[in-house]
């Protein structure tokens, strides 16, 4: 099923949304990195349902247990297994799904691929699988922070048609993002976003949006020049998040409309390093980090699970009306912010361990 | 350097743009697939420079040699090595690059990562590396066509601000795409695009754009549910193409603006299979192909190599004016069409070989 | 740390011998395979310490918990996580190890590689790590049995200088092997072996030996022709078991003394298949299974942990006398039998999933 | 087909014995390592047929061409492709093989696995595939020598029942091994071995043997503690060599007969490092190099291709007499010496690149 990501910093997630546990194993984390359950819990709490009225009313404590790989608060260099128990199982909600596949969900394709399915329909396709990602990402962040001084901040930059102003990506902090439940640091846009999400909730509908993420203080040299460009690895990781539909690095699709003479990032001395005047490249040139902030955006579709009745078909192709009960988020974006950060951290931790600094480089 | 892609249908490319050869090894192609040099050459000819006045005047014959893995016109199941000699070397064009890194190119990051660089500057980051991809992709396409009836067509859907009308993705053929040098099947838009590219050429500038690609007749079930979603693998492959800046599947960034009740692809019987009324999912749900056409878009930035003078800095950070000679494409999009098709074919061939059809699935 | 094995049927183990748990994640098991905790427990019970007076007096229940991937007694196709809690921790036994590395153990190399070490000395090098292997192997065995009818039996064929007669490898059953605690089906040799092991125990010493393993009813075609020959994968897996020092397939080192005219396995019709008269090849030719039983042998050194005083050196290189307390097996062979079977099962399950039967083969 | 080995220093070989070329791509070699065609050729010349009357009379120049990855005598950090043309094709010799599979050869299993076969019978199973391994190994040796001071020497230690005395493994040089065609530095045994091989040749028969290999000056810390123990990786690599049947590290099968009190390698200060008095561990403890010489042995069966008539069966299972023409080595051991060295170098180069020295280790 390929539940692993990474070549040197390898995460493997496990668990069905309605089974006993969800969790992950992180293999490849260097020894001596400070990791505790509290550190991991902090990011899980940001992903947890029931944080605000904007999110699903499912209330799961999502307490993480570290099973191995850590002793006296430090990593040992051995695999770090961690798990979260599923405490809030309500399989009855999912009974109707045995006859009618949810539109734009993984029910149908999962059943076609595996011939059977977990009770919850899409099984591993559930957003609950991202618990393991966020926990593993918290470990990756520790490594990146301690060994390299890298930090990562993501935020909601659009909900439906509402687009936020771009903040100063060199200064934005997570506490600014978390200051409002919708996780958009532009207070004005955040208000409109909140209203829109509440409207969707009231109408039994859902809405998509965009998350932007910045990764700062990467050294020059991360990423591989051909197939494993840092941008390609980020695209891979982001499109693996449930509901993700698009990815762009730096100027992205807007850059496709530009001329080279305006798009090129001219070089300029920045203290002891060679920097660029603009950052249309999004911190990556030729697939390799260039020392500028890595900035990318991820598009999320509106959640497929809505409570409005849907005129669809059953597995036999007969017309059928689907009325979902369950407990669904009208908008996944606020809770997806720590997931995007986690996936970025996993990619960067792997890239860091794959890079060998050369014995000598051109000094400035 | 990670010059390989795929887990079962594995391509490894090799070669510097200004060394002796470029090429690839394809490992994992099943035995008995018809492959000849002529079949591979056909796609290489579509990638070749000098096809029209819209592309670089470099004239390289780019004749492919199959070195192994094929006997009597059929694959043996063993690795297929192939190479193309570099015949048109003009290293003098690149001399200036030893002092000044080209803006938004891989010169600087390559030197920082490796401590030295091939004569051509970015070395492996050159677009010439895609020769190996296109050749390998032609073999993947043969496998997909013979074993599964899958076909793939890409086209230029935007150049700068000019956007083409969307063609009927279920019917579009390559010959329609190739009917105009700019490879856009919308004749009206194609005219404007051509004019814009010629303007860029005259001004020593470059322009970006978007390529759209459709992959048809995939069975339901390709792609893995967690990290290796088919959409994630496609995003990875597309962002690994030089100059690619964005990827979107199905509704993509536009889908992020929509409500779930409008975005959801309702099911409907289509002959013997369960299909969907709309295809905002782009043929992939929960990371797994659902039997509808897979449709995605790739954003390309304007080529970094322009002949206009650029006020940048040298490796020491001192202000410097860069005047590139060389022979550069004002727009890489037309020649990138077969590269996008090749990368799609490599991803799908790998996904096909990773999928085990279950012993029984829910019949319609 | 590379705690994973396999390309399609992938096992990842985790856990330190003196941490909270040991366990494994199995990713890639096809859906619909019967797997329960009882089935896994059966093999764990054969590996468990304290089974007889021949083994370590550590008494650990080693109860397995299936955390994911199984529902209603059948695999889902998703990752199967399982764990066993460590209940019998006695870290005090290991205190002396902080100053003096145990000879021929992993204490020294682990500390040199990681710069720190888990409390138990070698950390992951402990035989306790094999709990995860045995549990995962039990799942692999289920898949092999249900889908392919393959079975696997290993036994102790030598302890120190005492060599058992070779049984009929086509008929031997596990219950015959388990009939005596030393797990040697040759009753006469088993008696001598038992006496030798008890002598070692009395003298605070240890003794090595050889385990032979047969895998039956493999179809022709498993294994890859070049680097991943089935024999190479088995050698890899067996030498990864703690204390393993040698591997031979079929005739092995004895075959190195033979002439080709005597060693070659001549073909002969066996019912509906082409078989061989002899089986010096050990069921594998050119790295690929040929339909005959796969037979191999694994050499184990005497356990490094002995209670006799040892005149060695401390980490500073100063002469020191090491007196180990702890609870040690005088001979690991009887308990290593299910470990060898598990590793064989993991290799074969992976080989089975990597093999594509060709569309047509030469019929007999 | 899995024609690749390694995770960071990755070699992929290609080519059929009777196709146009054989060769390899090495991906992952660091930049700045001196590599030339002459350096690679040196090892290929030691593998080449027709070196002496002990080997096959096939006379192939086996001239290597470096196709990429090297500029001005130094590696670039990019993939190094190399190839050797097949000049001495005599397909007629192999015609009989279409009806009767050669006993103990890969003809039968290859046909069963792939449904068709290359003209030469076993296709990729040919010893000619090792050309790519030896060439890639020469590059690995350069890296190991330049970056780490590691050297590797293998020699023939047994032919049939004739066993050579063990040389001083800390001092043995390749020129001593190459001083006699049979590549055994024990002159007395070498004479008997030569006579035995010539006898086999006269009788149209073949003979097996053992190659021993020592790898010196490894730092402490190479190899991974669980599945990718250095000993396991070496076993994998060695058993992937055609005709290899067994592997042992250090004391190996002889160690299985010993007591722990005699087998344990007691620690002792050796200059600035902690060494061991004996080396039954073969330089590897817990899967990790300990600073002592790595010593292992590989058993080779007698070559399957003999000119004596063999009473076997055809593909339909009917009794048939096989009389091979072709040109065959009565003993593959002398030519396999550089193959063993190459495989050892490939494993060590990969292990070197996978190891991260910890930030601090226990100083002596």
- Per-residue pLDDT tens for C212-259? 999 999 999 999 999 999 999 999 999 999 999 999 999 999 999 999
- Report the chain B residue with the minimal C-alpha distance to residue D79: B14
Q: Which alpha helices (H) appear in D187-273, and where do they start and end?
A: 187-202, 230-239, 252-255, 260-263
pLDDT digits (tens, 9 = 90+) for B259-279: 999 999 999 999 999 999 999
Average pLDDT, chain C: 92
Separation between Cα atoms, residue A287 and residue B241, nearest integer Å: 9
Report pLDDT for C115: 84
Subunit contact D79:B19, Cβ cutoff 8 A: no
Subunit contact B71:D23, Cβ cutoff 8 A: no
Higher per-residue pLDDT: D94 or C124: C124
Q: Indicate the residue of A78, A353, A358 with minimum beta-carbon distance to D31.
A: A358
Identify whether the C-beta of residue C12 lies closer than 8 Å to the C-beta of residue C20: no
Chain centre distance of CA D122: 19
**A-D C-beta contacts closer than 8 Å:** 15
Nearest Cα neighbor of B138 from B224, B220, B37 is B37
Subunit contact A226:B13, Cβ cutoff 8 A: yes
Report pLDDT for D363: 45
Place of tokens 């090429």: B23
Report pLDDT for B361: 47
- Report the chain A residue with the minimal C-alpha distance to residue D354: A8
Subunit contact D268:C242, Cβ cutoff 8 A: no
Reading the block at residue C207, the tokens are 């003794």
Identify whether the C-beta of residue B230 lies closer than 8 Å to the C-beta of residue B294: yes
- State phi, psi for A51 to the nearest 5 degrees: -70, -30
Q: Element (H or E) spanning B215, and its range?
A: strand B209-216
Reading the block at residue C272, the tokens are 């509906």
Chain centre distance of CA B212: 11
Subunit contact C79:A1, Cβ cutoff 8 A: yes
Distance from B56 to chain A by nearest Cα, in Å?
Answer: 16
Subunit contact D200:C259, Cβ cutoff 8 A: yes
Place of tokens 């048939």: D320
Reading the block at residue C253, the tokens are 């080192």
Reading the block at residue A113, the tokens are 């691929």
The length of chain D, given as a count of residues? 364
- The confidence band for D115, taking pLDDT boundaries of 50, 70 and 90, is confident
Antiparallel, parallel or unpaired: β C4-5 and C10-14:
antiparallel
Q: What is the signed CA dihedral for A294, A295, A297, A298, rounded to 10 degrees?
A: 20
pLDDT digits (tens, 9 = 90+) for D294-311: 999 999 999 999 999 999
Radius of gyration of chain C (CA): 21
10 Å Cβ neighbour count for D359? 10
Subunit contact B116:D32, Cβ cutoff 8 A: yes
Identify whether the C-beta of residue D134 lies closer than 8 Å to the C-beta of residue D44: yes
Residues of C with a Cβ under 8 Å from any B Cβ are 7, 30-32, 78, 225, 353, 356, 358-359
0.85 surpassed by complex ipTM: yes
10 Å Cβ neighbour count for A335? 23
Separation between Cα atoms, residue B262 and residue C6, nearest integer Å: 43
Identify whether the C-beta of residue A276 lies closer than 8 Å to the C-beta of residue A265: yes
Residues in chain D within 8 Å Cβ distance of B12 = 4, 12, 25, 27, 79
Residues in chain B within 8 Å Cβ distance of C225 = 78
Q: Which alpha helices (H) appear in C203-269, and where do they start and end?
A: 230-239, 252-255, 260-263
Report pLDDT for D59: 62
Separation between Cα atoms, residue A108 and residue C268, nearest integer Å: 50
- Report the chain D residue with the minimal C-alpha distance to residue C159: D257
Subunit contact D32:A359, Cβ cutoff 8 A: yes
Q: What is the mean pLDDT of residues B103-113?
A: 92
Report pLDDT for A60: 67
Q: Element (H or E) spanning C195, and its range?
A: helix C187-202
User: Alpha carbon of A111 to those of A121, A122, D176: distances in Å?
Assistant: 8, 8, 65
Q: List the single best residue of A104, A201, A291 to mutate versus B (max B Cβ within 10 A).
A: A104
Domain A4-354 has CATH 3.60.150.10: yes
Identify whether the C-beta of residue D43 lies closer than 8 Å to the C-beta of residue D342: yes
Q: Indicate the residue of A13, A23, A114 with minimum beta-carbon distance to C31.
A: A114
10 Å Cβ neighbour count for C199? 14
Average pLDDT, chain B: 92
10 Å Cβ neighbour count for D90? 12
Residues in chain B within 8 Å Cβ distance of D25 = 3, 12, 14, 25
Q: Indicate the residue of C209, C268, C290 with minimum beta-carbon distance to D109.
A: C290
Subunit contact A265:B122, Cβ cutoff 8 A: no
Mean pLDDT for back-to-back runs of 10 residues, chain A (364 residues): 92 91 96 96 89 68 94 94 84 66 93 75 78 97 97 98 97 96 97 97 96 97 96 98 98 98 97 96 97 98 95 95 85 97 98 83 48
Q: Indicate the residue of B12, B81, B116 with minimum beta-carbon distance to D23.
A: B81
Subunit contact D225:A78, Cβ cutoff 8 A: yes
Separation between Cα atoms, residue A48 and residue A63, nearest integer Å: 10
Subunit contact B356:C32, Cβ cutoff 8 A: no
Report pLDDT for C363: 45
C neighbour chains, 3+ CB pairs within 8 Å: A, B, D
Report pLDDT for B363: 45
pLDDT > 70 in chain C, percent:
91
- Could you tell me where the beta strands, DSSP code E, fall in B90-138? none
- The confidence band for C362, taking pLDDT boundaries of 50, 70 and 90, is very low
Q: Element (H or E) spanning B298, and its range?
A: strand B294-300
Q: Indicate the residue of C221, C248, C269 with minimum beta-carbon distance to D245.
A: C248
Separation between Cα atoms, residue D3 and residue D123, nearest integer Å: 13
Report pLDDT for C117: 61
Subunit contact B301:A263, Cβ cutoff 8 A: yes
Q: Element (H or E) spanning B310, and its range?
A: strand B310-313
Question: From its phi and psi, is residue A130 left (phi > 0), alpha (psi between -120 and 50) or beta?
Answer: alpha
Report pLDDT for B126: 80
Report pLDDT for D87: 83
Q: Indicate the residue of C7, C353, C358 with minimum beta-carbon distance to B31.
A: C358
Distance from C255 to chain B by nearest Cα, in Å?
Answer: 29
Q: What is the mean pLDDT of residues B3-21?
A: 94
Separation between Cα atoms, residue B155 and residue C243, nearest integer Å: 59
Q: What is the mean pLDDT of residues D144-168?
A: 97
Higher per-residue pLDDT: D88 or C172: C172
Separation between Cα atoms, residue B45 and residue C166, nearest integer Å: 64
- The confidence band for C97, taking pLDDT boundaries of 50, 70 and 90, is low
Q: Indicate the residue of C13, C258, C274 with minimum beta-carbon distance to D226.
A: C13
Nearest Cα neighbor of C12 from D319, A3, B166 is A3
Report pLDDT for C360: 55
Report pLDDT for B233: 98
Three-state secondary structure along chain A? CCCEECCCCEEEEECCCCCCEEEEEEECCCCCCECCHHHHHHHHHHHCCCCCCCCCCCCCCCCEEECCCEECCEECCCCEEEEEECCCCCHHHHHHHHCCCCCCCCHHHHHHHHCCCCCCCCHHHCHHHHHHHHHHHHHHHHHHHHHHCCEEEEEEEEECCEECCCCCCCCCCHHHHHCCCCCCCCHHHHHHHHHHHHHHHHCCCCECEEEEEEEECCCCCCCCCCCCCHHHHHHHHHHCCCCEEEEEECCHHHHCCCEHHHHCCCEEEECCEEEECCCCCCCEECCEECCCCEEEEEEECCCCCCCCCEEEECCCCCEEEECCCCCCCCCCHHHHHHHHHHHHHHHHHHHHHHCCCCCCCCCC
Identify whether the C-beta of residue D234 lies closer than 8 Å to the C-beta of residue D247: yes
Report pLDDT for C171: 97
pLDDT digits (tens, 9 = 90+) for D8-39: 999 999 999 888 999 999 999 999 999 999 99
- Report the chain D residue with the minimal C-alpha distance to residue A29: D356
Q: List the single best residue of B9, B20, B76 to mutate versus D (max D Cβ within 10 A).
A: B76
Subunit contact A113:B225, Cβ cutoff 8 A: yes
Least confident of B26-40, C150-164, D103-117: D103-117
Q: How many CA atoms lie within 13 A of C45 on its CB side?
A: 7
Identify whether the C-beta of residue A315 lies closer than 8 Å to the C-beta of residue A99: yes
pLDDT at residue B362 is higher than 50: no
Distance from C288 to chain A by nearest Cα, in Å?
Answer: 25
Residues in chain D within 8 Å Cβ distance of A358 = 30-32
Subunit contact B116:D21, Cβ cutoff 8 A: no
pLDDT > 70 in chain B, percent:
91
pLDDT at residue C361 is higher than 50: no
D198 Cβ contact list (under 8 Å, min separation 6): D53, D54, D330
B262 Cβ contact list (under 8 Å, min separation 6): none
A295-310 exposure pattern, b = at least 16 Cβ within 10 A, e = fewer: bbbbbbbbbbbbbeeb
Place of tokens 């966020």: A134
pLDDT at residue C281 is higher than 90: yes
Separation between Cα atoms, residue C291 and residue C274, nearest integer Å: 8
Subunit contact A71:C19, Cβ cutoff 8 A: yes
Higher per-residue pLDDT: D72 or B118: D72
Subunit contact C77:A1, Cβ cutoff 8 A: yes
Residues of C with a Cβ under 8 Å from any A Cβ are 1-4, 10, 12-16, 19-23, 25, 27-28, 31-32, 66-69, 71, 74, 76-81, 83, 113-119, 123-124
**pTM, two decimal places:** 0.96
Least confident of B57-66, B183-192, C16-25: B57-66
Place of tokens 């308990």: C335
Residues in chain B within 8 Å Cβ distance of C78 = 225
B38 Cβ contact list (under 8 Å, min separation 6): none
Residues in chain A within 8 Å Cβ distance of D227 = none
Residues in chain A within 8 Å Cβ distance of C3 = 25, 27, 78-79
B neighbour chains, 3+ CB pairs within 8 Å: A, C, D
Nearest Cα neighbor of B70 from D16, D130, D121, C360 is D16
Q: What is the mean pLDDT of residues C75-100?
A: 79
Separation between Cα atoms, residue C356 and residue B352, nearest integer Å: 12
């Amino acid at each position: 099923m390929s539940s692993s990501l990474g070549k040197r910093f390898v995460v493997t997630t496990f668990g069905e949304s309605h089974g006993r546990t969800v969790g992950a194993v992180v293999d490849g984390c260097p020894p001596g990195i400070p990791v505790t359950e509290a550190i991991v819990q902090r990011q899980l709490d940001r992903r947890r349902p029931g944080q605000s009225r904007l999110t699903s009313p499912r209330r799961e404590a999502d307490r993480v247990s570290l099973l191995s790989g850590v002793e006296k608060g430090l990593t040992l260099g051995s695999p770090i297994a961690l798990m979260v128990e599923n405490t809030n199982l309500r399989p009855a909600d999912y009974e109707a799904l045995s006859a009618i596949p949810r539109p734009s969900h993984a029910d149908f394709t999962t059943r076609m691929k595996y011939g059977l399915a977990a009770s919850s329909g899409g099984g591993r396709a559930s957003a609950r699988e991202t618990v393991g990602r966020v926990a593993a990402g918290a470990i990756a962040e520790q490594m990146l922070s301690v060994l390299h001084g890298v930090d990562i901040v993501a935020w909601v930059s659009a909900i439906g048609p509402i687009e936020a102003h771009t903040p100063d990506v060199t200064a934005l902090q997570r506490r600014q993002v978390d200051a409002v439940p919708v996780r958009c640091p532009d207070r004005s846009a955040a208000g409109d976003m909140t209203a829109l999400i509440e409207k969707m909730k009231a109408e039994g509908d859902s809405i998509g949006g965009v998350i932007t993420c910045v990764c700062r203080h990467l050294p020059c040299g991360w990423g591989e020049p051909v197939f494993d460009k840092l941008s390609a690895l980020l695209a891979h990781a982001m499109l693996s998040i449930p509901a993700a539909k698009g990815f762009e690095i730096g100027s992205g699709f807007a850059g496709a409309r530009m001329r080279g003479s305006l798009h090129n990032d001219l070089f300029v001395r920045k203290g002891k390093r060679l920097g660029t005047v603009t950052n249309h490249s999004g911190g990556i040139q030729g697939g390799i980090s260039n020392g500028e902030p890595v900035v990318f955006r991820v598009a999320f579709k509106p959640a497929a699970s809505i409570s409005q009745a849907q005129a669809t078909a059953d597995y036999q192709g007969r017309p059928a009306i689907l009325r979902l009960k369950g407990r669904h988020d009208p908008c996944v974006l606020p809770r997806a912010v720590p997931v995007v950060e986690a996936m970025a951290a996993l990619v960067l931790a792997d890239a860091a361990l794959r890079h060998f600094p050369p014995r000598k480089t051109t000094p400035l």
